Structure 1
Amino acid sequence: MHSPASSQSSFELWNSGPRRVEHGWHRPAPIKQYRKKAAPGEIFAALPGEVLEIILDELRNLHLAPSSTSCATCMMRDLCAAALAARKLLKFARVALYEDIQLVGNDSHIQKKRYKINYGSRMVLLRRTLRANPQIAAIVHNVKVPAPPPQGLPLGEYQNLIASVIMACPNFERLMGPLQNYDHNPNRLFHALSTREKLKEMNWLVQSSPFQRQRRLGSNSTMNMLNQYGSVSAPPPGDLQPHQSTAFLDMHVNWTHLTTLMIHCLPGATLTPTSLIVTALGCLPALQNLYLSHLPHTSFNDSNLLSLPPLKSLSLSHLPGVTSAGLSSFATRYSSRSIRNLAVKHSNLNSLPAMARILSNLVSLETFTFVQSTAPILPEHEMIWLFPYLASPSLRKIHWDVTNQAACANVADGILAKSIAAHGFPSLRTLRTPNDPEGMFQTLCRPTERIEMASDRFRGRSLIGNNSSRPDSPDTMTTRSEVSAGEKQIGQEDFKESNNLHPARRAAQSRLDAARRFPRFFVNVIDEDGTLLEKFGLAGFLGQLDSQVEYCLTPDDGAIDENGGLVEISDLLGDGGEDLNEREGCTGRWNTYGNVVDKKDRDRLMHTERGRWRPVTLI
């Protein structure tokens, strides 16, 4: 008798029993995985420091961009909030906050009342913070100080307050804000700057010493008596005392990291002996940018020009001691080949052969600025048989302005235009000619849709000078008048510093509109049987289609139309947007307009109305 199990087949017995795989691979049972919740700030802490620096730099740029409606105060407020947001962000936000400090506008009335300080409460608090925290003081590199008060605080106390802030910063590099005159007397501000070994930029606004001013007044009275009988030329400024020259030279000894130096002499001021400037430059091994303005021939001449160290940018403005021969010899020196930007403004460059040697020998030159009341000329009995006569393979931008030019182009304009047309400047991309009466330079450039700006048609007669409609601060009021007086002491009644870009744009736009009336191409519409149905012209333009040169009639950053689009000393003496005269400032609510905020947030966001200051770079 068979059992029930014996009557089943082998397959049925295999399926009825518990299944067990003895050989081969099988998929394991799924395991439930639970993700561990990240701790607060754990993901943010994993970000590298470079990413946080880029975020903070972008935040700073959003506040300080030229098109921004915010200001430096709002920028510092947001950086403070970022420093309190996370512990890891504190380190990088502190660097972004203190590395470049901008104190713009007036102090808060609440702050004045709380600390019982009439002026400079922010600088006093900043000095207290820097002295109490050496680590923070080591971060500070640049400081923008506010403009001096119109009343109350003497100028000496204002300079002493700035000096105390500078002395608290061991790694100080740049002082921004109103320029201070140097009159060769002991001064705490300039002494503090001379002790900063890592200083990178210095602007000298040299004023005559008390002894020189007395001598100048005496010479002026004698001149007035002599002028009754005949014209007598004004004598050069008197020499400095030996201890004054030594003091000026000693200030440059510690500046081994200085890269930018500007020296501008006010009327009646000088720097003597003749070797003083060159000797001072020899103490600056890292110098790259040099700007010299209104130096008498007793301070700077051709021999000093040939003794300059290798530079990247050089600007020579109103230097009667410099000649075409000196500039030509300077360009042939091996140390001059490193120059990338060269500006020659009213410095006796009257020879076209000298200009040709300058452009051909400076192999690294990228920007060339030429401003002069008279155009350079060719020597007698010399003719040009082959073009391009003026050539530079590296030059990318030209600013060409002959200020006292008549209603027609001169010979130098024609030679430069023919040289450009003959491919003498293969790398040229920007051409700015404020005085182009015949439009010969405009015809060489790339066609453009519009040259005139939207506000040009509504502008009246432009005011001559920079910020002439704005009040001057006490420390710059006499300085601007002296600067303008120094620009007029050339001895020419019709002397013109530069041409205005506003009428230049209007004239260029008129030529462009006139050219559009004369089409360059004609379209013939012909029927199937060959009958001419319609004929019309199109594409009226002015310029060369294959040209890569842009015809630029807009000013540089920080410059104005009245100065020909170039940054001048008067622009450095301007307020830079800090003054609120007839301008709307920032009150801290730039991102709350149209939104409903409570009183607590409104008080927290708002601050004293301050202007939107923008830095001005001379070179």
Structure 2
Amino acid sequence: MHSPVSSRSSFSSYDSSRPDHGTWQRPMPIKQTRRRREPGELFAILPSEVLQLILTELRKIHLRPNSESCATCMMRDLCSVAQTCRRLSKAAQNTLYEDIQIIGADSAAHKKRFKGTTGTRLTLLRRTLRANPELAGLVRTLKVPATPVDAVAEKYQDKVASVIMACPNFERLLGFHQPYDHSFSRLFHALSTRENLKEMNWFLEAAPAVQSKNRSKAQPAPGAGDSHGADLDMERSTTFFDLHMNWARLTTLSIHCGPDAALDGISMFGMTLANMPALQNLYLSNLPVTVFNDATLLSLPPLQTLSLSNLQGVTSAGLAAFARRPSSHSIRRLTLRHLGIDSLPALGRLFSYLTALESFTFVQFEAPEMPADEVIWLYPYLASNSLQKLHWDVPTYSGGASEADRILAKSIASQGYPALRALRTPHDPDAVFQGLCSPLERIDMASDKYRGLIARIPDRVKAPEPSPPVTPISPTSPRGFGKPFSNMKLTNDPPTPVEAPASESSHLAQSRLAAQGRIEAAKNVPRFQVNVIDEDGTVLEKFGLAGFIGQVESKTQYVVKPDPGATDENGGLTVITDLLRDGGEELKDREGCTGRWLSWAEGMTADKKERERWWHTERGRWQELQMS
């Protein structure tokens, strides 16, 4: 009988028709002829967004801080890129016209060609924008030069206003902040018509002398003089607030009132803010009580940045009530300068309720105090889980840390600010704050010691009397607040202190010298005592190690340097009035850019032809200022 197929052996079930794998060879692959790409084919398939990003990075390289280039060199390179091909021309035009920067004075060739007319580059730009509406629609930001010395200020402002009127999507005017004296100006009228405006900075001044003279010549009826002046001020205020009606997309607003600036109307200020649903950053300085007080503070819309400076109408009770409002919980940056806050619990409520707060600045002549009937039973008393940067500038007149300083320092030591990374305290005589931060070897700058040669103070600070050595403290153990540093002694006389500023802020140069003096004094108080003992138990040598201020495990940096664009004289903060500075555009005490850096870097021969191609009129390197 034949066995079934399933029971066959492996040899009998082997199919002889199948090829032998031992001798089988893989067939030769079919040769594919790769098509040679045409020149520029890979470039043609790149998305326009990629080209735009490349040119944006080129712009950033030219305009970054400490760059040897300038805005003129940037525009020259972008114009060269635009002439290479049509695809790059579109991307280069977008990069050029979205953010226009016209820095410095006009060249001699332009002045000769236009017969000495000021603002020739603005004239050429206006002609281009009017002739090409597509380019005019690209303009979002405009930086214009400061008013030339030989120009009429009013005519120059009118020329800037005409350029703004040619840009339908205009958003920001940089570096050209003109005061507003409640008289008609084409510049402010042009800005009021731009519905896409996102940033506006007001510097209010007193009304013109002609109007005040006419008002004084008028002979009002008895008892009607005050009402006439009040009506005139209300009319000016109404005209001022009417300029804000078209700014529904405004995100940043700053108002600074100069001396004798006529401004009134609390209700109008509230209605003006109500018409700005996109407002995120608000900076107010020197506003009178009739415009901003506690009631106005409680009516503010949700913001991300709020800066209040020299506002007499804001009180501690108003701030405490403001912190409890749900619309205030979105604030990330809060600045309080010279508001007269006399209650430390009011600051505690700010820290408790503002859960998104990342940066807090407090500047005041008098330290806030604790109520007499309130006792702190548990620390941290002041606490914020989100705060990353703290600027605490409260002078100490008694020579030591105030009660508010010690409460804040003890709250920081009790892990009340786990996210704190930068702490700046210009006044820290007992090192209650410096002792909580990471240790530093040096904190002063090379130029600080020479400032005393310019402005000296007759009375020199005397070094403290030497005292007995103290018990070494472990780096991991918490320091007392001020006590361990009171026994430090200086080996040399301290440098000549910088003259105390007459402004409302501290001088950081003096703070750096004081902080460096505490670092040097701490080296004489070692943390560890080493005893070298012989085999027979004899002590051969004794010496100390690790004398420093701070805590090694701390993640907080002790900062005594100004913010970018700020100065030591303002306490390291940028205020609204700093926007009036040149920002690096003027060439009085600095060297500008002429475009020669490219020929030096590439090793080009600086002949006449190359100079005409790459060099330009010397211009400053302007940098935009960011307010603290």
Tell me if TM exceeds 0.5: yes
Q: Find out whether 1:609 has 2:618 as its counterpart.
A: yes
Are the structure 2 counterparts of residues 608 and 529 from structure 1 closer, same or farther at C-alpha, using a change threshold of 3 Å? same
Secondary structure of 2:599 counterpart: coil
Identify the match of residue 506 of structure 1 among 494, 507, 513. 513
Quick check: 2:340–2:366 contact (8 Å CA) kept in 1? Answer: no
Call closer, same or farther: CA 1:306–1:495 in 2, change over 3 Å. Answer: farther
Deviations along 1:231-255, whole A, 9 cap, x unmatched? xxxxxx9565444333222221211
Match of 1:205 among 203, 207, 214: 203
The separation in 2 between residues aligned to 1:384 and 1:544, in whole angstroms, is: 25
Question: Residue in 2 aligned with 1:543?
Answer: 550
Distance in 2 (alpha carbons) for counterparts of 1:285 and 1:98: 28
SS at match of 2:282: strand
Provide the rounded CA distance (Å) in 2 between the counterparts of 1:326 and 1:258.
26
1:246 to 1:135, Cα distance in 2 relative to 1, 3 A = same
Q: What is the rounded CA distance, in whole Å, between the counterparts of 2:270 and 2:131 in structure 1? A: 41
Q: Which runs of 5 or more residues in structure 2 are unaligned?
A: 1-19, 218-228, 457-499
Q: After superposing the two structures, state which structure 1 stretch, 528-537 or 378-387, moved more.
A: 528-537
Instruction: Work out whether residues 207 and 262 of structure 2, in 8 Å CA contact, stay in contact via their aligned partners in 1.
Output: no
Residues 144-543 of structure 1 mapped to structure 2, 5 A cutoff: 144-151=143-150, 153-210=151-208, 214=212, 240-403=232-395, 405-460=397-452, 496-523=503-530, 536-543=543-550
User: How far 1:31 sits from its partner (Å)?
Assistant: 6.5
Distance 2:246 2:444 in 1: 49
Query: What amino acid is the match of 1:84?
Result: Q
Superposed displacement of residue 26, structure 1: 4.7
Structure 1 match to 2:103: 104
Q: 1:532 to 1:333 in 2, by over 3 A?
A: same
Q: Tell me how far apart the structure 2 counterparts of residues 41 and 613 of structure 1 sit (CA, whole Å).
A: 37
Describe the SS at the equivalent of 1:54: helix
- Which 10-residue stretch deviates more, 109-118 or 131-140? 109-118
CA distance in 1, matches of 2:288, 2:133: 44
Secondary structure at 1:592 match in 2 = helix
In structure 2, what is the equivalent of residue 10 of structure 1? none
The one-letter amino acid of 1:542's match is I
Contact 2:283 2:576 in 1 (8 A): no
- How far 1:437 moved relative to its partner? 1.6
Letter paired with 1:139: L
Q: Secondary structure at the match of 2:336?
A: strand
Q: Report matched runs for 1:73-84 at 5 Å.
A: 73-84=72-83
Shift of 1:38: 2.9
1:566 maps to 573
**Residues 403 and 497 in structure 1, CA contact (< 8 A), matched pair in contact too:** no
3-state SS of the aligned residue for 2:430?
Answer: coil
Query: 1:602 is aligned with what amino acid?
Result: R
Aligned to 2:131: 132
Which AA in structure 2 matches 1:270?
Answer: A
Query: For residues 138 and 188 of structure 1, what CA distance do their matches in structure 2 show?
Result: 21
Give 1:584 deviation, angstroms: 0.6
CA distance in 2, matches of 1:431, 1:218: 52
Aligned length: 552
Q: Which residue of 2 aligns with 1:588?
A: 595
CA contact (8 A) 1:373 1:496 kept: no
Secondary structure in structure 2 of the residue aligned to 1:412: helix
Q: Distance in 2 between matches of 1:529 and 1:45?
A: 86
SS at match of 1:563: coil
- Residues 11-50 of structure 1: CA distance to partner in whole angstroms, max 9, x if unpaired? xxxxxxxxxx9x9965555776655443222222233333
**Mean alpha-carbon deviation: is it higher for 68-77 or for 249-258?**
249-258
> Does structure 1 retain, via aligned residues, the 8 Å contact 2:380–2:411?
yes
Q: Which stretch shifts more, 26-35 or 413-422?
A: 26-35
Aligned residues of 2:254 and 2:576 also touching (Cα < 8 A): no
Aligned pairs for 1:13-92 (under 5 A) are: 26-28=25-27, 35-92=34-91
Distance 2:297 2:394 in 1: 24
Q: Could you tell which deviates more after superposition, 386-395 or 198-207?
A: 386-395
- Conserved in 2, the CA contact under 8 Å of 1:271 and 1:277? no
Q: What is the distance in 2 between the residues matched to 1:604 and 1:563?
A: 43
> How many angstroms apart in 2 are the aligned matches of 1:324 and 1:495?
26
Task: Describe the superposition over 1:436-480 as per-residue Cα deviations: whole angstroms up to 9, x where unpaired.
Answer: 12211100111123211233233346789xxxxxxxxxxxxxxxx
Amino acid at match of 2:410: K
CA–CA distance in 2 between the matches of 1:55 and 1:529?
A: 75
| CA–CA separation in structure 1 for the residues paired with 2:58 and 2:101 | 15
1:522-578 C-alpha deviation (Å, 9 max, x unpaired): 455667887766554332221012211111111111100100000013311111010
Query: Closer, same or farther in 2 for the Cα pair 1:360/1:239, shift >3 Å?
Result: farther
Q: Is the 8 A contact 1:338 1:364 kept in 2?
A: yes
**Aligned mates of 2:30, 2:274 — CA distance in 1:** 76
Counterpart-to-counterpart distance in 2, 1:218 and 1:451: 57
Provide the secondary structure at the position in 2 that maps to 1:562. coil
Given residue 275 of structure 1, which amino acid in structure 2 is its aligned partner?
A: S
Aligned-CA RMSD value: 2.7
Map of 2:121 onto structure 1 = 122
One-letter amino acid of the structure 2 residue matched with residue 176 of structure 1:
L
Q: What's the TM-score, normalizing by structure 1?
A: 0.84
Indicate how the Cα distance of structure 1 residues 590 and 463 shifts in structure 2: closer, same or farther if over 3 A, else same: farther
Q: Distance in 2 between matches of 1:536 and 1:499?
A: 39
Length-normalised TM-score, structure 2: 0.83
Change (3 A) 1:429 1:26: same
- Secondary structure in 2 matching 1:561: coil
Letter in 2 for 1:606: W
What is the one-letter code of the residue matched to 1:53? Q
Task: Confirm or deny: 8 A CA contact 1:360 1:391 kept in the other structure.
Answer: yes
Distance 2:455 2:102 in 1: 30
Question: Structure 1: which 5+ runs fail to align?
Answer: 1-20, 220-236, 465-492
Aligned to 1:225: none
The worse-fitting range, judged by mean Cα deviation, of 364-373 and 534-543 is 534-543
Q: Shift in Å at residue 218 of structure 1?
A: 6.8
Cα distance between partner residues in 2 of 1:534 and 1:54:
66
Secondary structure in 1 matching 2:283: strand
Query: Which residue is 1:618 aligned to?
Result: 627
Take 1:499 and 1:142, find their aligned partners in 2: how far apart are those partners? 34
Deviations 1:345-389 (A, max 9, x none): 011211111111121111111111111111111222433222211
SS of residue matched to 2:190: helix
